Each structure stands twice: as C-alpha cells, then as structure tokens.
Amino acid sequence: MMHDKTLKFALLGATAVGLLALAPLSFAKDVEFVKKAAQGNLMEVQVGGMAQEKAASDEVKDFGRRMVADHSKANDQLKPIAEKLKVNWPNALNAEGKQMHAELEKLQGAEFDRKYVDEMVKDHKKDVEKYEKAQVNVKDKNLREYVNKTLPILQEHLMMAKSLKANMSGQGTGSGSAAGSSAGEGASTPPSSMGLGTPPADAATTPDQGASGSGTAGGMGSGATSGDASMITPPETEKKKSYDKME
C-alpha cells in the first residue's frame, strides 16, 4: 500500500513538472509575434518620419505622417502585452529595418517617393499575412484582441499604399496634386477614418474621404498619437470591404 501511494505521488509530481515545462512553450509563438510586431511598428515610425521630410508629394508626406501616428499608437498598445509575456522591448531597428532606413536616407524627392511607397506596399503585405496567421496561432487573450483589432487597419494601410503606387504609375511623382487627382484609378482610396487617433488639421483629404476621420495600429489613423491607448475598431462600412490578402 505504501509503495502504491509513493508511486502515485511520484507520477503526480512528474506530471506537474512536465506541465510547467511545457507552459512557456505554449506561448512561444506569442513571444515571437510580439517581437516581430514591435520591430515592424518601430521601423514604420522611423521611415514614416523620413517621408514627412524627404517626400516630394503631399500625399506621400501625409501617408508618412499617418504611419508615424498609427504605429506609435500600435506599440503603445503592444508594450504592456510584451511586458506580460516577458519580451525584451526593442529600442533600435533590427538589421532589416536598418537596411531599409539606410536605402531611403540616400534618396530625395520623387525618387524617395517611389522607393518608400514600394516598400510600404511590400511591408504591409507581409504584415497582413503575419497578423492573419497570428489570429490562429496566438494564445494570450490580450494579444489576440490586439491582433484582431489591428489587422483590418493594416489591410486599410495596404490599400492606401497600393493606391499611392497606382497613382504614381499613372501620373508620375512630380507633384502631390497629380498623385491625388487620379484617385479613381487603380486601387480605391480608403477613407480617412483608420480606427485610431485623430488626423492632423493639415492632413490632405483624398477624394472619397470626405470629412476627417479617426484612426491608428502594425495601422491606424492620421493624427498625432493621443493619450488614449484604446484601439477603436474601424467603421462598420469599412469592415465590409474585401481587403487584399498576402500574395
């Protein structure tokens, strides 16, 4: 009898130790996602700031301004989750981000516009795919909520970048007004309401934006970062759109 009890307690102890050992592994994908998302937001903020200074087109400047506000807000919302998961928060760009920054830093004007917008299309395609996978893979409740609220906004960012690229292909990048005049061509221009933040008073309004909207997150709004860290889901009308998926 004593032997049976001893064996029973030994098995229970071994099971408990095994479960504790597996617990960190169950959140391994969460940790990896947070690291990549934080780096992505940081990169968007830094190159978006460059766009405001170097771009020739007013539309590209406004897009860069929106990226700074949106992705700053995204990281504000992501940081508490990173702390909860004990993820080391990045304070500098990784190798990939540094390379993009270095390449853009060498360019000016229309040449910068073309390169920046092209990179934004490619980067947001990757982001959309990454967040779609995270919807299935992440375990942490707060992180899943962040992903679900951010993904539609990133898809909207992708639409904006594609629209800018289409306008450049048809009109060139010599003037900001030329890029904006063909908004009916190529990918449709998304509304200014991005789900987070408040657009700056001087932000350019695209033809189908109408009144200024709100928006920020990894997509997220045209305004400066506000003190409110809550993520606002994009308008119901916007949710009905079919967004481009990762190729």
Q: Which domain holds residue 199?
A: 24-239
| Residue 224 belongs to a domain | yes
State the Cα–Cα distance between residues 75 and 64, nearest whole angstrom.
Answer: 16
User: Inter-axis angle of helices 95-105 and 109-137, to 10 degrees?
Assistant: 160
State the Cα–Cα distance between residues 240 and 176, nearest whole angstrom.
Answer: 30
Buried b (16+ CB within 10 A) or exposed e, 112-150: bbbebbebbbebbbebbebbbebeeebebeebbebbebb
| Residue 109 belongs to a domain | yes
Contact 211, 191 (CB under 8 A): no
| Residue 14 belongs to a domain | no
Specify the pLDDT at position 27.
86
In this prediction, residues 54-74 reach a mean pLDDT of 96
| Residue 12 belongs to a domain | no
| Residue 184 belongs to a domain | yes
| Residue 208 belongs to a domain | yes
The Cα-based distances of 108 to 50, 93, 160 in angstroms read 10, 22, 21
Q: Which of 106-110, 132-136, 223-227 has the lowest mean pLDDT?
A: 223-227
| Residue 116 belongs to a domain | yes
In percent, the amount of the chain with pLDDT more than 70 equals 59
Asked whether residue 182 carries a pLDDT value surpassing 70, the answer given is: no
Number of domains in the chain: 1
Nearest to 69 by CA among 224, 226, 237: 224
* pTM greater than the 0.75 cutoff: no
Domain of residue 188, CATH code:
1.20.1260.10
Asked whether residue 152 carries a pLDDT value surpassing 60, the answer given is: yes
Specify the pLDDT at position 242.
41
Contact 206, 187 (CB under 8 A): no
Buried b (16+ CB within 10 A) or exposed e, 78-87: bbebbeebeb
Asked whether residue 160 carries a pLDDT value surpassing 60, the answer given is: yes
pLDDT in tens, 211-244: 334 344 344 544 434 444 444 444 444 444 444 4
Asked whether residue 51 carries a pLDDT value surpassing 50, the answer given is: yes
| Residue 19 belongs to a domain | no
Q: Which of 83-97, 159-173, 192-206 has the lowest mean pLDDT?
A: 192-206
